[in-house]
Homo-oligomer: A and B are copies of this chain.
Amino acid sequence: MNMVKKAAKKASRKVPVSTQPAAASQVRHEEPTRKHTINDIARLANVSKKTVSRVINESPFVREDTRTRIAEIMQRVGYTPDPQARGLAFRRSFLIGLIYDNPNAPYVINIQEGALGALRRQGYELVVHPCDRTNEKFLSEIRELISRQKLDGVIMLPPVSENSALAEMLQKLNCPYVRVLAAPLDEPQNLVLSMDRQSAAEVAEHLWKLGHKRISMIIGPQTYRSSIERLTGFSDALAERGLTMPPEFVVEGLYTFESGAACAELLLSRNPRPTAIFAGNDETAAGVYRTAYLRGLKIPDDLTVVGFDDSPLASRLCPSLTTMRQPIRDMGRLAAERVMAKIAGLEGPPLTATTFFPHLVVRESSGRPKT
């Protein structure tokens, strides 16, 4: 079969191109799913493979009619260039890595799908890489992945996106990257900002409008930038409205359900206790719910709770949880567009964080204070 194939190939350049070769039935029978190569297209179009290559890569140095003709043939036979061969020649992979350690599954999935939508259109695929910053080999594993698979770029999600050692390594490796972050820890073109500070300010305004005075907050780990941003945005906005949180009303959790429950335990044993708790995220808020439940406190009658993320959990809790909704899918899409732009060399218009419109979703967990 190989010999036959080769012979056909060599001969064909000298022979008039026919859409249906004489032995069509045989050929179809022999190689039903055999993919067309650049050589097949070149032969069909009666040009060199280099010219086909130019069409593939949208080089301007092709006569328009030639370009059209070749494009039509590629279209007709359903030709798509082999990414591996292109990659080998280009020293590229058309693969983008998604590096994350965020335990919030819906968050990751949404970013993933948002990014994928944009990547696919340009012939890229997404390779996922969950990681663990506490693991010694965390950095070397990523370096290994990048060099092995020759990733064209990577997208990093918080909190690992805050890791400066990782970003430095990527720079050294000359690997284009985009960091999804809560604060501008990098140059603008390297990040997608989530505006946590402004979002937290919205929460403050909401609670203030409801009339709350004894307000407390459970922040995430202080090592996470988002914790700081949310705390700053929240307390600053409260201060602007003449409200202050006493130190014992601000406690640090781990952004987890369990830590949320533990922190709420602390806060709800204060006397007087807060009438509203801004949990650092929805998971933490769920923890607050649990503690309130165990203590027999009614939400929102005895306690107003606000989360952050609008994960599916928020609407499933009873009462449903007021929370900040982030346009996570869009952030994924934008992150993808940015890496691709960086790979293409065009930095693109300096998109600002204002591209996003996170907004407060008010639900049943919001109420006026009774005390």
A residues apposed to B, CB below 8 Å:
33, 35, 80, 82-85, 87-88, 93, 95, 105-106, 108-110, 112-113, 116, 123, 125-130, 144-145, 147-150, 172-174, 257, 283, 286, 289-290, 293, 312-313, 315-319
Contacts and interface: CB of A to CB of B under 8 A. Distances in A.
A315 B173 contact: no
A108 B106 CA distance: 9
A123 to B, nearest CB: 8
A85 to B, nearest CB: 6
Contacts of A144: 80
A123 B169 CA distance: 22
Contacts of A315: 257
A108 to B, nearest CB: 6
Contacts of A257: 312, 315-316
Nearest to A87: B84
B125 A126 contact: no
A150 B82 contact: yes
Chain A to chain B: the 8 pairs with minimum beta-carbon distance, closest first? A105-B105, A293-B318, A105-B106, A105-B109, A286-B316, A84-B87, A84-B88, A125-B127
Tell me the number of copies of this protein: 2
A88 B174 CA distance: 25
B148 A83 contact: yes
A147 B219 CA distance: 48
Contacts of A35: 147
Contacts of A130: 112-113, 116
Contacts of A123: 148
A290 B312 contact: no
25 contacts: A33-B174, A80-B144, A82-B150, A83-B148, A84-B84, A84-B87, A84-B88, A105-B109, A105-B110, A105-B312, A106-B106, A112-B130, A113-B130, A116-B128, A125-B145, A126-B128, A127-B127, A257-B316, A289-B316, A290-B318, A293-B319, A313-B316, A316-B317, A317-B318, A318-B318
Nearest to A145: B125
A319 B105 CA distance: 22
Nearest to A102: B109
Contacts of A83: 148-149
Contacts of A318: 289-290, 293, 317-318
Nearest to A150: B84
Nearest to A97: B125
A125 B313 CA distance: 31
A129 B295 CA distance: 45
A243 to B, nearest CB: 29
B149 A125 contact: yes
